[in-house]
Amino acid sequence: MPTVQRHIEENSHRISYVREIVKQRSVNLDAVPAVSPALMSDGQSWKTLPFSSPNSTIRLGTMFSGIGAIEHAFQRLKLNHRIVFAGDIDEKCKKSYFANYEISPFDWFTDARLFDARKYEGQVDLLVGGAPCQAFSMVGKRLGFEDARGTLFYEFARVINETQPKVFIFENVKGLTSHDSGRTWKIIHRIFCELGYDVYYRVLNSKDYGIPQHRERIFCIGFKKPRTFAFPAPIPLEYRMYDFLEDYVDTKYFLKEKGIKFVTSHKNREKFYTQINGDIALCQKRNQQFNWHGDFVYHPVAVDESLDEMFDEFVFNVKEVEEKYYLSEKVAKYVLCSGTKNFKTRTETDLDVARPLLQSMHKMHRAGVDNYVTFKGRIRKLTPRECLRLMGFKDSYKIVVSDTSAYQQAGNSIVVDVLIALLKQMDITQYGI
C-alpha cells in the first residue's frame, strides 16, 4: 500500500469518470447477493507444498509498488522472476525500489492514472497491487469512493484489462469489506468478475503466517482460467516481537553455525533432545553445554556470525541500538500516558505480537497505538530495520532513505510472509514460462 497521492485533484476529469463508472455499477446493487469470503484450506500445509515447476520464470507486474513486498517474496523463495513493470508516485519509494530490485527505468511509471499498460498485454503472469487504502481505513475518514484515493482501485482493474495477467492479487485494509455496509466491496468484486476472472477473497492476519504482528488485510485473488482455490490455513506463531529486535547480548552465549544446525536438526527435534523457547524446561543435565542437548532460547544471531539465509528464516544480525531511538524522559511520559478524560488507551510495551505498523509511526503515537520496547530500564521505539523485519523483509533488504521515509515505507507495505503463503498455496510456478 503506497503513500498518499498528495497532488491528486478532487475535481479532475479522470476521477469524475471513475466515479461515474462506480455509480453505474451501483445500480440494483442491493439485489445482488452478498459476496462471501473463500474457504481456508484443510489439506496439506502451505509450508510443505512443493512447487510444480520450480525452474519456470514468473513475469511480474506491480502497481502502487511501494518497496516491493511481492518482489522480496520471490527473492526469499528463490524463484525465477522478471519484473515487467512497476511504479509508485513517491520518489523515495522509487529510490528504495531501484536499490533492491532489477528493473529498467523505462518500465517504471509514476502516476497510475497516466500509465498505459497496453504494450504489456500478454507479457504478465502475475499482477500485484494494493491501491491506497486511507479512503477505507478505520483510522481515516472512510470516505470511500468520495475520496480521490478511493477511486484508484479502478486503475488496477484497468491494468488487469489491458495486460490480461494469468493471476492477480489485490490487497487492501480489512475495512474495505465493511465500508458502506458492504456495498463498496460488492462493487469492486463485481468489476473484477466482469473482467472475466475467477475471484476469491479473504481477510488474513499476518500473525497467522509467521510474523508476530496483528495486521488484518483483505487479499483478493483472480485467476484467468477458472480453478478451485482455498486460502492457506494459519500456522502456529513460533516467534515473538522480541525475536525481531536488535538489542545486544554477549556473543559468548550464542551457538556458532555448527551448533545451531545440530540443535535445530530434524533428528534432534523429533527425538526431543533439545527444545527452543519451550514453555516448560527439559530436565537439566550437567553436560548439556557440551553435548548440545537441553533448553535453548532463540535470539538473533551474534554480531560476528554470518549465516546462510536458507538455514533459518529468522536469524537476524544483532547490533546495539543507536541512542537516537531511545525516548527522552519527556517523550516517554507522553508515550506511556493512558490518556485524558475523553481519550483512553492501553500502554503496554514489549508485546509478543506487535500492533499494526503504521505509515505515520515516525511521529511516535502513544503506546496504545504504536509499538515500544524496553531495554535495561529504558523505553525505545522500534528501529526502521526492526519494522522491516516485522513486515517480512530480511536484512538483505537495503535501507537507502531517511528513518522517516523508512518508517512510512514499512508501514505502507504488504507483509511478505502472507504473500509467500499465497504464492505457495496457489503454486505460482505453474503460471510461469
Q: Which residues are catalytic?
A: 133
Cell of 373: 520496547
CB 286 within 8 A of CB 303: no
d(CA 132, CA 150): 7
Return the DSSP state at 388. Answer: H
Contacts of 233 (CB under 8 A, 6+ apart): 40, 41, 42, 45, 46
- CA distance to 163, 173, 256, 310, 389, per residue, from 411 (Å): 29, 12, 34, 26, 11
The 10 Å CB-count burial string (b at 16+, else e) for 145-158 is bebbbbbbbbbbbb
The 10 Å CB-count burial string (b at 16+, else e) for 232-254 is bbbeeeebbbbbbbbbeeeeeeb
Neighbours of 228 (CB within 10 A): 9
The sign one gets for the Cα dihedral 391, 191, 182, 423 is: negative
Phi, then psi, of 288 in degrees rounded to 5: -65, -25
Phi, then psi, of 144 in degrees rounded to 5: 60, -130
Return the DSSP state at 207. Answer: G
**Hey, which residues does 326 pair with through a beta bridge?**
380
User: Which bin fits 144, alpha (ψ -120 to 50), beta or left (φ > 0)?
Assistant: left
d(CA 353, CA 364): 18
**Residue from 275, 274, 269, 213 nearest 244 by CA:** 213
**Residue from 66, 159, 13, 133 nearest 416 by CA:** 66
User: Which bin fits 6, alpha (ψ -120 to 50), beta or left (φ > 0)?
Assistant: alpha
Strands across the sheet containing 126-129? 108-109, 81-87, 58-63, 126-129, 167-173, 216-223, 198-205
d(CA 8, CA 17): 14
DSSP codes, 55-80: T--EEEEEES-TT-HHHHHHHHHT--
